Amino acid sequence: MNNPLLKPYNTVPFSKIENAHFLPAISQLIEKTRDEIDAITSNTEKPTFKNTVEALENTGEQLDRATSIFFNLNSAETNDEIQKIAQEVSPMLTEFSNDMLLNEKLFERIKTVYKQRDSLNLTEEQHMLLDKKYKAFSRNGANLSEEKKTKLRKIDAELSKLKLTFGENVLAETNKFELHITDEKDLSGLPEGVIEATAQTADEKGKDGWVFTLDYPSYVPFMTYADNRELRKKMAIAFGAKGFHNDELDNQQNVLQIATLRHKRANLLGYESHAHFVLEERMAETPEKVKSFLNELLEKAKPAAQKEFDELTQFAKELDGIDRLEKWDGAYYSEKLKQKLFNLDDEKLKPYFELKNVINGVFTVAEKLYGLHFEEVHNIDKYHPDVKTYEVKDDEGELVAIFYADFHPRPGKRNGAWMTSYKPQRKIEVQIDPNQVGNSNGKIPASAGIKNDRPHISIVCNFTKPTASKPSLLTFNEVTTLFHEFGHALHGMLANTHYPSLSGTSVYWDFVELPSQILENWCYEKETLELFATHYKTGEVIPMEYVEKIKDSATFLEGMATLRQLSFGMLDMAWHGSDPSGIKDVKAFEVAAFDDTQLYPDVKENCMSTSFSHIFQGGYSAGYYSYKWAEVLDADAFALFKQEGIFNKKVADRFKGFVLSQGGTMDPMELYIKFRGQKPDPEALLKRAGLL
Ligand SMILES: [Zn+2]
């Protein structure tokens, strides 16, 4: 069969791959992987780390590559055909992975090795791999009796249905509401672009005037700029009341049931609560630690937040005679105050951030810190002509990674920015063929029998496109986005582990944003900006006054923003940290959970939980805290760079040695302490945020 996905390849042969290749290749590779697993379970030898755990790690290599190509394309360069194939491929892969996790023979072998783990002389990385493989099964109920397994499957089925209904209700509620404006006066304060877009929305709906919806691109500008306070109130109440109307789209019972079933599921598996279950595989470890983490930040941030709130109230009073600041006033007066204090808009900054220069800037930062050299190459196949390809080499000229960068929006690319990979890093044992030694290039593999297979990493963004008269000029927000994604990419490119499932960004979830967020810090430093922030026409370096303003405006009303994030984290832990069976009234429960964190008066028509999709539909349950957690890590880690010099080689070597290259080979707290010499201290974040 002439299917390029079934043949060996190094970089992805994009130009040879047709959409029609995916389905047959993936289904054939699933079968191949099933055979590989059968070979493990039918092995007549006693289970060992090598013949079971490592063997399992080595299954499905080709399948993983084919699926990563497919799903990466579905995000970056999709079309109806690919989306249709995805509808078929996704359930196939789910079924395959379920079958594997329910494979009792396989689990028995892994369990046998797991029980002997302390007497096997395993390296720390091998311990992590064994633990990860074992827990994938045990956390899915592999150790339960048949009766309890049946119960667990029933709970899982109910949960997935409830989560789906929860999400459908939120979506239906979002789509149900519209604010139809026919009097131009009511548009006062709104930017021209927003007015145009909402006129178009109205047009599409066959209406006159302007239509605002609860979708973010419509809702957020309205709340930020619309002068009409009554209409802001109307929008805010509609936004906050999703799933809370005591009608067929109401989510109160769904929330209660989801929390209850999650708790039961955790108990069944032997955990005290859903949060205990989730946090077992997190750096934060336990609900108690998360709660004390949130409380410590709250104690420090609250006075600053209260002060900011009082100032904002005062400002609103002076400007418009507002007596009591309400939730629908927050964004509006914050924006007005920001304009007054900083008067710094994107248009002033953009000429200093030509994309070409920013890319060179981020490459220079990587060179100064980690000795990486990026060379654009044109002999690597790509999925779209806009994609750029680079060879990344170290100081000795050895290949570190292949790097793909895809910068501009186009139809078929989803919104946002992300990092992904086409091939993981791994170390492979190679059989040395005596006939090959001394072959044409005369090279004998350096480390006997181990090949370090380097990764292929990609970042995908949606930055402003160049035009005939202007190059691509980035907003400052886009600059930090590029540094952020490039930070993830460095985590992937510098990976240096044995096993692909512990390599690069395959780390605990509350640790994965450290490499990305830390790199953003360099964007605020004069030393970095001088490297690349030069005017695209005059070559003039960005004025210091702008740099100062960028820094100051970054912490504007940070206390209030912190309090808000903490309140969400606390609500999440309230729902998932203990037995929810006593909760009768969702709104009353929520008001109590918010007790310490609210600055604005409560709005009785509103309920956050009934549309809190992050934790009731998406994957953030018992995980919302991780936004702040990652900020604490990156601020504390960067503080060491600040102290020793932001391009200090020794600090950079430690960060590379203990964080960027290590993936998930060790407990992240251990890795962090090795790098930093101490546990993360929240003080650095509080200082950076101006809250101390
Ligand atoms: Zn990220």
The full DSSP string for 55-115 is HHHTTTHHHHHHHHHHHHHHHHS--HHHHHHHHHHHHHHHHHHHHHHT-HHHHHHHHHHHH
pLDDT the model gives residue 445? 47
User: 129 with 53: CB under 8 angstroms?
Assistant: yes
- Orientation angle between helical segments 586-593 and 558-576, nearest 10 degrees: 130
Cβ atoms within 10 Å, residue 144: 16
* d(C-alpha 128, C-alpha 665), whole Å: 6
- Å from CA of 458 to ligand 1 middle: 13
Question: Residue 677 is encoded by which pair of tokens?
Answer: 């010499």
| CB neighbour class for 582 (10 Å; exposed up to 12, middle 13-18, buried from 19) | exposed
How many angstroms separate the most distant Cα atoms in the chain? 88
Q: Are strands 399-406 and 388-393 parallel, antiparallel or unpaired?
A: antiparallel
| CB neighbour class for 535 (10 Å; exposed up to 12, middle 13-18, buried from 19) | middle
The amino acid at 431: Q
* d(C-alpha 488, C-alpha 482), whole Å: 10
Mean pLDDT of the chain: 95
Question: Residue 560 is encoded by which pair of tokens?
Answer: 């209030």
- Orientation angle between helical segments 287-320 and 558-576, nearest 10 degrees: 140
Percent helix, strand, coil in the chain, to 5, is: 60, 5, 35
The SS3 of residue 419 is: strand
* d(C-alpha 140, C-alpha 230), whole Å: 51
The amino acid at 502: L
* Torsions phi, psi for 451 (to 5 deg): -110, 130
Q: Which of 54, 173, 478, 485 is catalytic?
A: 485
The SS3 of residue 473 is: strand
pLDDT the model gives residue 441? 47
pLDDT the model gives residue 434? 55
* d(C-alpha 156, C-alpha 161), whole Å: 9
* d(C-alpha 517, C-alpha 637), whole Å: 10
pLDDT the model gives residue 343? 85
* d(C-alpha 150, C-alpha 684), whole Å: 48
- Å from CA of 421 to ligand 1 middle: 14
The SS3 of residue 90 is: helix
- Å from CA of 23 to ligand 1 middle: 30
- Orientation angle between helical segments 252-268 and 586-593, nearest 10 degrees: 70
User: What's the gap between Cα 331 and its chain centre?
Assistant: 25
CA distances from 396 to 253, 373, 411, 509, 665 (A): 62, 10, 41, 33, 26
Per the annotation, the verdict on 683 as an active-site residue is no
- Å from CA of 61 to ligand 1 middle: 26
- Å from CA of 488 to ligand 1 middle: 7
User: 388 with 376: CB under 8 angstroms?
Assistant: yes
Q: What is the mean pLDDT of each run of 10 residues along the chain (692 residues)?
A: 93 98 98 98 98 98 98 95 95 94 97 97 97 98 96 95 95 95 97 92 95 92 97 98 98 98 98 98 97 96 97 98 97 95 87 97 98 98 97 98 96 92 94 54 57 97 88 94 98 98 96 97 96 96 92 93 97 97 96 96 97 93 96 98 98 98 97 97 94 87
Residue showing tokens 């964004």:
331
* d(C-alpha 70, C-alpha 420), whole Å: 12
- Å from CA of 484 to ligand 1 middle: 6
Q: For residue 247, which of 173, 342, 194, 186 has the smallest C-alpha distance?
A: 173
User: What's the gap between Cα 35 and its chain centre?
Assistant: 34
Question: Residue 368 is encoded by which pair of tokens?
Answer: 């100064």
- Å from CA of 131 to ligand 1 middle: 26
Residue showing tokens 């995908």:
460
pLDDT the model gives residue 469? 87
* d(C-alpha 24, C-alpha 3), whole Å: 9
Question: Residue 617 is encoded by which pair of tokens?
Answer: 């539909």
Residue showing tokens 């929330």:
255
3-class secondary structure per residue, 170-204? HHHHHHHCCEEECCHHHHCCCCHHHHHHHHHHHHH
Question: Residue 11 is encoded by which pair of tokens?
Answer: 């970089």
- Å from CA of 505 to ligand 1 middle: 10
Q: Which residues contact 160 (CB under 8 A, 6 or more apart)?
A: none
* d(C-alpha 391, C-alpha 14), whole Å: 17
The SS3 of residue 346 is: helix
User: 615 with 572: CB under 8 angstroms?
Assistant: yes
User: What's the gap between Cα 632 and its chain centre?
Assistant: 16
DSSP 8-state symbol, 404: E
- Å from CA of 581 to ligand 1 middle: 35
The amino acid at 463: F
pLDDT the model gives residue 365? 98
CA dihedral (216, 219, 222, 223) positive or negative: negative
Q: Where are the alpha helices (DSSP H) in 434-475?
A: none
pLDDT the model gives residue 435? 57
Residue showing tokens 């892994």:
110
Ligand 1 ion: residues within 5 Å (CB): 516
Bridge partners (DSSP) listed for residue 401:
392
The amino acid at 420: T
Q: Where are the alpha helices (DSSP H) in 464-513?
A: 476-493
Question: Residue 248 is encoded by which pair of tokens?
Answer: 């067929």
- Orientation angle between helical segments 476-493 and 355-370, nearest 10 degrees: 40
DSSP line for 392-457? EE-TTS-EEEEEEEE-S--TT--SS-EEEEEE--EEEE-PPPTTTTT-TT-PPPSSTTEEEEPPEE
DSSP 8-state symbol, 542: P
The pTM score is: 0.92
Residue showing tokens 């190509």:
69
pLDDT the model gives residue 438? 45
CA distances from 319 to 71, 167, 191, 314, 341 (A): 51, 40, 20, 9, 14
* d(C-alpha 235, C-alpha 224), whole Å: 12
- Å from CA of 478 to ligand 1 middle: 13
* d(C-alpha 235, C-alpha 179), whole Å: 7
